[in-house]
Structure 1
Amino acid sequence: MSKKAKKAVLLVQLGTPNAPNTSEVRKYLTEFLMDPRVMDIPYVSRTLLVKGIIVPRRASKSAHTYSTIWDKETGSPLMYYSEIQRDLLQESLGEEYHVELAMRYQEPSIAKAMKKLEGMFLESLTVIPLFPQYASATSGSVIDRVMEVMRSWQYFPKLQFVSSYCEDPLMIDVFAENAQKHDLASYDHFLFSYHGLPVRQLGKVDPSKQLTCPDFGCDSCKQDVKPYCYLSQCYATTRALVKKLNIPEGKYSVCFQSRLGKTPWIQPYTSDTLHNLAKEGKKKLLVFSPAFVADCIETLDEIQVEYANEFKEMGGEEVHMVESLNTHPKWIQALKKMVLENGN
């Protein structure tokens, strides 16, 4: 910890199990799914569902999946890339700043990271949730937890939250450059697959409860960037990438992955989209996952293994994945710009 640092940055990722075994995955899933912003149902119902049904059924299978992407030397891919992002941002900002990394669920926890920062008697703190598109279940949960921890602080530095950056030009550049490592002309179709949310959560961002988008997929979401509409921001990210790469209309689709339970989630689902494309005779797909700034279980397994196998079973041939932002220098520049532009 630099003695000169009076400004701090807290990067917050979603989280990862401490190890790829059933016990650790059970802890991770329980903490994650018991968050009321993630499972936004009454506490008793949430407890019965999470601890009584979901976690017991999923922990062992998820542990096996984590073991397939876990590196013997570097461990969790999400943690590996997040720690490098932290270190590179620290190097870029210099000793005037102190950059800390936390996970919303499991370790290093937000509480432990904030404890370190509290003792620095900071002038300012910028919190950057590592989710480009705002959602209450992701960025909102991070901000909520940071404010909860800070309630016990006896002093308050200047505090800034970067709640979304869905169209950040440098971020778009990185995804585009990573896509151009592939022979774009050889693909039949491009998929922009984002993490899913229950449909009911989209309406909760409007305190007036008068949203004029009954199906949560209206044309305005595809044309405008509404400040706290997750769906709108996903379309905004897609538009920026499509424009950057000159992908023609009709040759790409927006879809949503990782749904849970029987309640309606944002559609179209990625799995359904893959099935439909296979039925249409599409053979080779390139998939973007712009909701993630580091490769993780959702990109390394869910898309590249699970969905790819489904596509092939339906008659498709190849599913390739665009690498995430990971340690790209322009992504570090983007993070630095967010810090400096937010008055820190």
Structure 2
Amino acid sequence: MSKKGILLVNLGTPDSPSTNDVRRYLNEFLMDPRVIDVNPAWRTVLVKGIIVPFRAPKSAKLYKEIWSDTTGSPLMHYSILQRDALQKRLGAHYMVELAMRYQNPSIDTALDNLKKALVESILVIPLFPQYASASTGSVYEKVMRLVKDWPTPPNISFINSFYDDDLIIKTFADNARKYNPDSYDHILFSFHGLPQRQLVKADHTHSHCLKVNDCCQTITDKNQFCYSAQSYATARLIAANLNISDDRYSVCFQSRLGSDPWVKPYTSDVIAQLAKEGKKRLLVFCPAFVADCLETVYEVTEEYGAEFRHLGGEEVQLVESLNDSPTFIDALERMVRNSIQPSPAASSF
């Protein structure tokens, strides 16, 4: 009996924290035209001539801070656990493969494994709760580019986003409850940043993004695929689950690159303002990530923590990501079963 293929795809991680491996990872990541969406010649100069030569050695040092000798990077560690847990849940009639958009295990290899297994269909789940052209869109493009030359490709479908999935929201909220959110002065929802121009490109009406007051505060037909609008929606749902009032939390965006304007407000600016207001203890969510990684474990806990303390604050507590939470695996299993109808041959199982 044919199996159904499931392809989980996360962003990626270097093969090791060595400068060479980090350089290789950054080159592949930043040369993606959906990530740095500028003229190809300028992108090459910018990435290979400026960003990577200076950033690779610095990033390698940071990766060494979070790297485990036994399990490697946190992102890889939790991604493997997610794959294995989902495979166990789904059973023998499914084949779950894990890939990284950049570096290893590659999408090429994962798709080849599914092809060799003669799966009857492939459901691709980009592991990004909020849709962005630079993440989910890039996975779409890569997968379709690889399978377009297959003589007989199976049915292929995608999960677009899951920013408002109730089980995802519950997992983040449950992770926070152990820290007693009411005991913190303020709650931050810090999402990965994107250039504003990428949000504008997602507005097919050309009349909403950055042209309407509070354009991201409510999901509508016009901004339903907007990364920022989906991020605000995720934050609202988690806050509601925890009974956090609007005045006790802020939404912000981290990890800027270059001089062009990125999605605002910036996390560093919000932290500075909260310190100025006399806030001492911050609880921080990073709901753009399904697995802890450099941007959560180090950037929030270490860099923003040090910045906040320097400005007079006392504590920045990270709420861990979805990682290998059984409730997150519940969510993935539900996505699969709701997206793939059982074949007649499998109906008795």
Normalised to the residue count of structure 1, the TM-score between the two structures is 0.96
Number of residue equivalences: 339
CA distance in 1, matches of 2:328, 2:204: 34
Rate the CA distance shift 1:206–1:185 in 2: closer, same or farther, 3 A.
Answer: closer
How big is the shift at 1:342? 1.1
- Distance of aligned partners of 1:106 and 1:304 in 2 relative to their CA distance in 1, 3 Å threshold: same
Q: Does 1:163 align with 2:160?
A: yes
Whether 1:223 aligns to 2:218 is yes
Among 110, 117, 121, the residue aligned to 2:118: 121
- Per-residue CA deviation, residues 74-126 of structure 1 (Å, 9 max, x unaligned), is 11110000000000000000000000000000001101111111122222110
| Match of residue 300, structure 2, among 280, 300, 303 | 303
Deviation (angstroms), 1:297: 0.3
Q: Which runs of 5+ in 2 are unaligned?
A: 342-349
> Aligned partner of 2:276: which letter?
K
Structure 2 Cα separation of the partners of residues 315 and 5 of structure 1: 61
Cα deviation, residue 336, structure 1? 0.6
2:209 equivalent in structure 1: 213
Aligned to 2:251: 254
**Residue pair 2:124, 2:157 contacting (<8 A) in 1 also:** yes
Which sections of structure 1, spanning at least 5 residues, go unmatched? Answer: none
1:81 match: 78
Indicate yes or no: 2:65 matched with 1:64.
no
Q: Are the counterparts in 2 of residues 118 and 153 from structure 1 also a CA contact under 8 Å?
A: no
The root-mean-square deviation of aligned C-alpha atoms, in Å, is: 1.2
In 1: Cα distance, 2:200 partner to 2:43 partner: 20
The percent identity for this pair of structures is 55
1:239-286 CA-to-partner distances (Å, cap 9, x unmatched) read 110110000121100000001010100000001100000000000000
Q: Matches of 1:213 and 1:204 in 2, distance apart? A: 9
1:238 to 224, 235, 255: 235
Q: Quick check: 1:174 aligned with 2:178?
A: no
**Displacement after TM superposition at 1:5 (Å):** 4.9
Residue 284 of structure 1 corresponds to 281
Pair 1:88–1:242, CA change in 2 (3 A): same
Answering whether residue 267 of structure 2 is matched by residue 270 of structure 1, we say: yes
Question: With structure 2 as the length reference, what TM-score do the two structures score?
Answer: 0.95
- Work out the CA distance in 2 between the residues paired with 1:282 and 1:22: 38
Measured after TM superposition, the shift of residue 211 of structure 1 is: 2.9
Asked whether the 8 Å contact 2:200–2:210 carries over to 1, the reply is no
Task: Find the counterpart in structure 1 of residue 10 from structure 2.
Answer: 13
Q: What pairs with 1:167-206 in structure 2 (closer than 5 Å)?
A: 167-206=164-203
Q: Structure 1 residues 199-208 or 71-80, which shifts more?
A: 199-208
